[in-house]
Amino acid sequence: MNQPGRLHPITIAIRDMADIFGRMGFGIAYGPELETEHYNFDALNIPADHPSRDMWDTFWVKGKEDEGRKLLRTHTSPVQIRWLEKYGAPTRIIAPGKVFRNESTDATHEAQFYQLEGLAVDEDITLAHLKGTLERFSKEYFGTGAKVRLRPSYFPFTEPSVEVDVWFPQQQKWLEVMGAGMVHPKVLENAGIDAGKYQGFAFGLGVERFAMIKYGIPDVRLFHSGDIRFNYAFEQKVRTSDVLTSEKAV
Ligand code: YSA
């Protein structure tokens, strides 16, 4: 007998995440996978000569001569700029999507993986809003027993910046799952937002790493292995709520 089809676990994870953020009033945005240097780096306060560009090993793509060189986006953060330029502030969105890094793989690193970006811009947004949002999200996604910790970090597009770790019970270790922080005023200005009036928080989480912890998956490479038995280990699931306020490509 034919078996019914299954959703890929990454699809399940993104839908679960979108449901949780949807209940917190976040809409959903999508940006292009083939990006310009401007949106992936420059507008995010990462100029060409800045050493922090090395944080993202990049697949460069030859563009037409008049267009300059392009790249496969190394993170979902360029969607922040595209969205703010188009829709302005105040705003609250998530942006899930595929990203690419020219790096060697291991159990927690893939060359192609999914991130889910979050952005909230308004008057009087503070780090406490970021912390509260991430705590509520983690508890809803993993359950109330989840152990989450924030560490000080550095990203050129946030000040202050943090990295978030979640306890991986099956492996008895902390796993880094996300970068986050308060949006740098220069980034807001680059997107045409008055940084004197508005502040924001933002984050970029690794979808596969969240699912690894939730389902006890030992190796990130299983998600993209194409082994159908992996998919069949997950229950097919349809979205039960449709609470997203908007869904737009920028
Ligand atoms: C930081 C601040 C913001 O305001 C907004 C976003 C960010 C995140 C930033 N854009 C970024 O990409 N940070 S990161 O390089 O540390 O990646 C974020 C998350 O993606 C990681 O915590 C991890 O969960 C996942 N990740 C990174 N490289 C990976 C990976 N997952 C699988 N394979 C890889 N090679």
Chain segment 87-133, per-residue pLDDT in tens: 999 999 999 999 999 999 999 999 999 999 999 999 999 999 999 99
- Three-state DSSP class for 178? strand
Rounded CA-CA distance 9/18 in Å is 14
Ligand 1 centroid distance, CA of 2 (Å): 39
In a 13 Å sphere around the CA of 171, the CA atoms on its Cβ side amount to 17
pTM summary value: 0.94
Residues near ligand 1 with C-beta < 6 Å? 75, 77, 101, 103, 109-110, 113, 115, 155, 157-158, 176-181, 202-204, 206, 208-209, 220
Residue 42 pLDDT > 50, yes or no? yes
Take residue 42 and report the two structure tokens written for it. 């420059």
Residues 6+ apart with CB under 8 A from 229: none
Tokens of 161: 């910046």
pLDDT at position 68, please? Answer: 73
pLDDT digits over 195-224, tens only?
Answer: 999 999 999 999 999 999 999 999 999 999
pLDDT value, residue 141: 97
